Amino acid sequence: SSVCDSMKYLWISFFMGCSFLFAEDLLLLKKENRIVKGKIIELTEDGVQFEIRGARTFFKNEEIVPQNLFEHHQKKTNLKEAQQVEQLAETAVRLELYPDAIRLLQSIVALKQESEEALKARIQEVTQLAAEQLFEKAQASENEGDLEKAEKLYKSVMERYPENSFSTQIEEALKNIAVLQENIAKEQEQEKKVADQDEAKTKEDAKLVKAQKYITGLEDLIKKGNALNVEALEFHGKGNISQANKKYEGALALYKNAIAGLISAKKYATTDELKKKLHDLYNEIKQRQVNVYNSMATMVMSDKNWKKADALLKLALKIDPINAESLRLKAEVDKNRVTFSASKRANVKPIISNQ
């Protein structure tokens, strides 16, 4: 029929076009999504007789794509794969496997062969989540006194996610760690000198002296932190939120340093009296950290920044899960967040709780 003759003519045109451009004929097998090289022996209405390395095979028209249509077919295949990869990426995000999610999302750009603003924004969002996750691990290591691990994690955040939003905090943390490590190194060197110079002292005596030095240093850090906290409260009371926040952060940094020093001091506290002294100092530092977090939460609550307040109170409750003030503030924040969310959906002004 004329229709069949026309179809046959089209196929011949496709394959002849391939033959002029290449020494070998090319076919794309749809099912396997791969290209085979060979020689066209015969074209029919139903397909093509194809020779591959001396062996002949007949391919039906619905099984193959001629070279002229390779690019169009590949775009359709890529789009389908991109949709599947995107689903896997979002699953990785839900499981907090952020580095895997980033790799998957970046592969979608290559599949689609185009630059989509929404996709770029999602990659940036997940990258920030990944940076935040690694930053929190670094903070946890620092709080536990593992300065070497904390330093590696902080540097890893900067190297892997250079556009993270924690750069200033990381730089400050690395400076504090460097100072602590330098002090520890100096103290260790001094300790060695003292031991060499005064052979009459027993190791037990040296440890007691060292423990007392640590305690003196810890008390000085706590005193400085307390002074900053007092200044922060004064600025807070005057409504100078920026200066108050700066002083609060400074107090927290000093308390963190004190915790790290306290952990180092434990190995030198060999008497019950010194052990109790360190235990009391530890509890005091933790309580002051909680008080600062509570004060900072109260400050941002006045600006109705419930999300930030919630994050600060979670840090406080992680230190002291039964702190009455933290629990009270947390309940107030939770209530206002629910009220604010419901009011936003209803497009009405929220009623803020001050209980």
Question: Which residues touch 239 (CB under 8 Å, ≥6 apart)?
Answer: none
189-215 residue pLDDT tens: 888 887 776 665 677 777 788 888 888
Break the chain down into helix, strand, coil percent, rounded to 5: 75, 10, 15
Provide the pLDDT confidence category of residue 317 given band limits of 50, 70 and 90: very high
pLDDT value of position 3:
40
| 250-264 residue pLDDT tens | 999 999 998 888 888
Give 271's DSSP letter: S
Distance CA(225)–CA(249), nearest Å, equals 10
Mean pLDDT calculated for residue range 277-300: 91
User: Average pLDDT in the 26-42 region?
Assistant: 72
Across 335-346, average pLDDT: 65
Find the mean pLDDT for residues 155-183.
88
CA atoms lying within 13 Å on the CB side of residue 242 = 0
Residue, of 13 and 184, whose pLDDT is higher: 184
Checking if the pLDDT of 324 tops 90, the result is yes
Q: Which of 8-17, 62-71, 134-143, 320-329 has the lowest mean pLDDT?
A: 8-17
Please tell me the distance from the alpha carbon of residue 295 to that of residue 325, in angstroms, as a whole number: 10
Say what the pLDDT of residue 49 is: 82
For 335, other C-beta atoms within 10 Å of its C-beta total 14
Q: What percent of the chain has pLDDT over 90?
A: 20
The structure tokens 């979670």 sit at: 314
C-alpha 84/C-alpha 145 separation (Å) is 43
342 Cβ partners below 8 Å, 6+ apart?
Answer: 350
- Residue 354: what pLDDT? 52
Give pTM, 2 decimals. 0.42
| Average confidence (pLDDT) over 333-340 | 80
Question: What backbone phi and psi angles, to 5 degrees, belong to 66?
Answer: -70, 165
The pLDDT score that the predictor gives to residue 271 is 83
Could you write out the DSSP letters of every residue in 45-98? Answer: SSEEEEEETTEEEEEEGGGEEEGGGHHHHHHHHHHHHHHHHHHHHHHHHHTT-H
Q: Find the largest Cα–Cα distance for the chain.
A: 115
Q: What is the pLDDT of residues 118-127, one digit of tens each?
A: 777 877 888 8
How many CA within 13 A on the CB side of residue 331?
8
Q: And the tokens for 286? A: 């933790």
Q: How many CA atoms lie within 13 A of 250 on its CB side?
A: 17
**How big is the chain by its Cα radius of gyration, in Å?**
34
Q: Report how far residue 173's alpha carbon sits from residue 154's, in angstroms, rounded to the nearest whole number.
A: 8
Distance between CA atoms of 139 and 281, rounded to whole angstroms?
A: 21
CB 61 within 8 A of CB 49: no
| Torsion, CA 38, CA 42, CA 48, CA 51, rounded to 10 | -30
Tell me the C-alpha distance between 174 and 168, whole Å: 10
DSSP one-letter string for 157-173 = HHHH-TT-TTHHHHHHH
Q: Which of 9-23, 58-72, 317-331, 341-355 tops mean pLDDT?
A: 317-331
Instruction: Identify the residue with better confidence: 99 or 255.
Output: 255
pLDDT at 95 over 90: no
Query: Residue range 37-42: average pLDDT?
Result: 80
Give the chain's mean pLDDT: 78
**DSSP of 187-229:** HHHHHHHHHHH-TTS-HHHHHHHHHHHHHHHHHHHHHHHHHHH
Q: Alpha-carbon dihedral of residues 182, 183, 189, 192, nearest 10 degrees?
A: -150
Percent of the chain with pLDDT over 70: 75
53: left (phi > 0), else alpha (psi -120 to 50), else beta?
A: left
Per residue in 81-92, pLDDT (tens digit) is 666 767 777 787
In 3D space, the residue among 337, 296, 299 whose CA is nearest the CA of residue 315 turns out to be: 296
Q: Give residue 70's pLDDT.
A: 43
* Gap between the Cα atoms of 191 and 282, Å rounded: 24
